[in-house]
Amino acid sequence: MPLTPTIVWFRQDLRLQDNPALHAALARGAAVLPVYILDEPGEGRWGAGGATRWWRHHALAALDASLRDRGSRLLLFRGNARAVLRQLVNGTEAGAVYWNRRYEPASVARDQAIKTEFAAAGLDARSFNGALLNEPHAVLNKQGRPFQVFTPYWRTCVTLPVAAPLKFGAAQIPAPAGWPGSLELDELALRPFIPWDRGLAETWEPGETGAARRLARFADRAMDDYDEHRNRPDLDGTSMLSPWLHAGELSPRQVWAAVKARSRASGVFPPSNGARVFLAEVGWREFAHHLLFHFPHTPEQPLRAEFARFPWAEDPGGMHLRAWQRGRTGYPIVDAGMRQLWHTGWMHNRVRMVVASFLVKHLRLPWQRGAEWFWDTLVDADLANNTLGWQWTAGCGADAAPYFRVFAPVLQGVKFDPHGEYVRRWVPELAKLPAKHIQAPWEAPADVLAAAGVRLGANYPAPVVDHGTARAAALAAFKRLRGGESEA
């Protein structure tokens, strides 16, 4: 008697290589039904933002094309995932449902309910780790509690074995005798109705192939210099792999294996200091998921509870928030980052720290407002990473930067964009300014501004706040939070 079909429920694992759920389905030996379900209420408050939806549309198209090359296809549905899967099981007489785990609070609760229901009905309902090197429950401190500081967490992780990526070796994927009905991709309505996405299309190649190309390029050209170049937004010195990792078109085990492959000639792992620093950044992604899993309230509430009382500033009419969102703060490095984000759906990590610090310390606006904006505009809007990054900057999370560390945007620009090339690219109004003045145009002599065609307050804004005044106000607010204690 032939085996009943296996449903493979794709989510943020839109790839064939190193996909444990797909691998297990093929090993089961029955027909495979690849399924994607757009279940926005099931994501809770953090349903996909606009940039992520754009990426997902193209990633699903790429996955479907890969499946069709192997005699299969991707079935698309919209609705409550539990109900859709139940209907599919009943309609196809499937005997197994496999998927790869996610760690967002809403996903954890939903997955457990699905697994319980299907197991009670006699189905083979299983989930797998396809997203992390080490799952959150597997790495604990000596007291059996979750880590809240990165260094000891990562020191523990690097002692643990990392399995080799699973190879997708099937020339063909076993197909059912008949396919159930499915939506067309456009019916999911993931792409924007108003065409704002030209910059995204110019910048990215969603899909497993694009991920492999970018990983190979980084490993060959930039990885060994990563430690020296990663903080320079004017250089192509970072991996830019985060969108593919977020969509699951690339796994961290594949990244780890690519670094290991570079070690074969020398026998040394990691093969360079740049590679070691790069793997530690992969470790920060792991740490973010570790924190989200163990502290599920943190996307909305600070991990350090006392920061719930922080005296944020008033922003009548949202003027300061809008200036920050649109890259009109008058601080060139901040504005360049926000415009890069709007055009490409991505921002250099050093600049993310600068613009985040500016929002929560110069403007003294709640970190949640920044997290919400990033969530909607980033193609790599991962709930775990987004939460960790914003709480780190605000000083209210695990292993956080102290609140009284206030990034000086001019100094950050001078140090990390020394020739002003990053600003010139994203703030073209300032492109003709000499490097000496491009990070602080309000300090340039009138004749220099005139020669560059810069009219402060007209074609480029004056600073919305004074750095020294804003820094003093931020430190005073922190002092009030601490009940009069000094910043030390």
Catalytically active residues, by annotation:
281, 284, 312, 349, 367, 390
DSSP character string of 173-199: PPPPSSPPP---GGGG--S-SS---HH
Residue positions counted in the chain: 488
- Calpha distance 305→298 (Å, rounded): 10
DSSP character string of 364-379: ---HHHHHHHHHHH-T
Torsional class of 375: left (φ above 0), alpha (ψ -120 to 50), beta (otherwise): alpha
Q: Is there a contact between 41 and 80 (Cβ–Cβ < 8 Å)?
A: yes
- Calpha distance 167→251 (Å, rounded): 12
Q: Is there a contact between 445 and 426 (Cβ–Cβ < 8 Å)?
A: no
Residue with tokens 């992780």: 157
- Degrees (nearest 5) of the Cα angle 373, 375, 377? 70
* Local structure of 51: helix, strand or coil: helix
For residues 347, 353, 358, 362, the Cα torsion angle rounded to the nearest 10 degrees is 180
Residues 6 or more apart whose CB falls under 8 angstroms from that of 157 comprise 133, 134, 139, 283, 286
Q: Is there a contact between 432 and 325 (Cβ–Cβ < 8 Å)?
A: no
- Calpha distance 344→323 (Å, rounded): 19
Q: How many CB atoms lie within 10 A of CB 182?
A: 14
Per-residue tokens: 22? 């797909």
Strands (E), 231-389: none
